[in-house]
Amino acid sequence: MTNLKGKVAYITGGSKGIGFGIAQSLLHEGMKVAITSRSATAATSAAEKLGNKNILALESNVQSLSSEINAIQKTESAFGRLDVVIANAGVGHFGPIDNLTEAAWKETIDTNLTGVFNTVKASVEVLKKSQGYLITIASLAGTNFFENGAAYNASKFGLVGFTQAVMLDLRKYNIKVTTIMPGSVSSSFNSHVAGTNDTWKIQPEDLGQMVVDLLKINPRTLPSKIEVRPSVVPAKR
Ligand SMILES: NC(=O)c1ccc[n+]([C@@H]2O[C@H](COP(=O)([O-])OP(=O)(O)OC[C@H]3O[C@@H](n4cnc5c(N)ncnc54)[C@H](OP(=O)(O)O)[C@@H]3O)[C@@H](O)[C@H]2O)c1
């Protein structure tokens, strides 16, 4: 996919943070981009901020397969094709197992793991047609476990395993699959308000650049699992 101009991407959770940053980078390359949010208002307001005629704002909750099927159909009918799917939407609930509620556990797994399954199921036949690219946004929490991380670690360890198996399933259709595993990123994750203390972190546009580089890499090569971290960690946090 050396020339991205006119190619079409679908990004779950593009209303803010990493998904928004990836959308910005892909639009800059001349791609047409659909972004989703659980809220139509948030999706529309993000699309206005992106200020580009090639953006489509959609309401879809990744926890629902039918909602994802509907959003993928809308993307294909608006832009005529679909080449790139970025399964990015995610939530974080952190706490020790004795305090972790069933609701927090379910929301984490249903969004970060089953949500990606839903996005992939909804898009796999369209990606076969375009011989496209699927990228999941996992986390370093998909390989490093930590205290208070039971739900989040479970969702991201699961997502890394899921994506690697899917990569092998889809390679024979010339669909490329990569999981990106970021460390700390400056975003609104877990209701964080990004500010001047976050400049040491990976910025969403850095991951946008990484996605562009992946899409443009020589088709004979597939970086299937990428760990990415801030190059410097401040002494005091
Ligand atoms: N920030 C980090 O340090 C970091 C590090 C590693 C990995 N990640 C991963 O990166 C991904 C993006 O997170 P972020 O840091 O950009 O957080 P963010 O700023 O909170 O953005 C999360 C995005 O996901 C969407 N979302 C959440 N639940 C959804 C659902 N059920 N259906 C559809 N969209 C949903 C949100 O949209 P609405 O709220 O508008 O619905 C929002 O657009 C997540 O998978 C996260 O686990 C983040």
Q: What architecture does CATH give domain 8-228?
A: 3-Layer(aba) Sandwich (3.40)
Ordered mean pLDDT values, 10 residues apiece, the chain (237 residues): 93 98 98 98 98 96 98 98 98 97 98 98 98 98 98 98 98 98 94 88 97 97 98 77
Q: Give the pLDDT confidence of 104-135 residue by residue, as tens digits.
A: 999 999 999 999 999 999 999 999 999 999 99
- Rounded to an integer, what distance in angstroms lies between the CA atom of residue 108 and that of residue 170? 26
Pocket test for ligand 1, best of 188, 189, 190 (most atoms within 8 A of CB): 189
Active-site position among 10, 133, 152, 173:
152
- Give residue 172 CA to ligand 1 midpoint distance, Å: 30
Interior/surface letters 171-190, b for 16+ CB within 10 angstroms, e for the rest: eeeebbbbbbbbebbbbebe
Q: Please tell me the predicted confidence (pLDDT) of residue 214.
A: 98
How large is the angle between the packed helices 114-130 and 150-171, nearest 10 degrees? 20
- Give residue 189 CA to ligand 1 midpoint distance, Å: 6
The answer to whether residue 152 is catalytic is yes
> Which atom of ligand 1 is found nearest the CA of 92?
47
Give the H/E segment covering residue 123: helix 114-130
Interior/surface letters 194-216, b for 16+ CB within 10 angstroms, e for the rest: beeeeeebbbbbbbbebbbebbe
So where are the chain's domains? 8-228
Q: Please tell me the predicted confidence (pLDDT) of residue 194.
A: 84
> Which atom of ligand 1 is found nearest the CA of 187?
19
Geometric angle at alpha carbon 107, from 125 and 127, rounded to 5°: 10
> Which atom of ligand 1 is found nearest the CA of 201?
3
pTM of the complete model beyond 0.85: yes
Residue matched to tokens 């946090």: 237
Q: Please tell me the predicted confidence (pLDDT) of residue 227.
A: 98
- Give residue 111 CA to ligand 1 midpoint distance, Å: 9
- Give residue 152 CA to ligand 1 midpoint distance, Å: 12
Q: Please tell me the predicted confidence (pLDDT) of residue 237.
A: 55
How large is the angle between the packed helices 17-28 and 40-50, nearest 10 degrees? 40
Q: How far is CA 120 from the centre of its chain?
A: 12
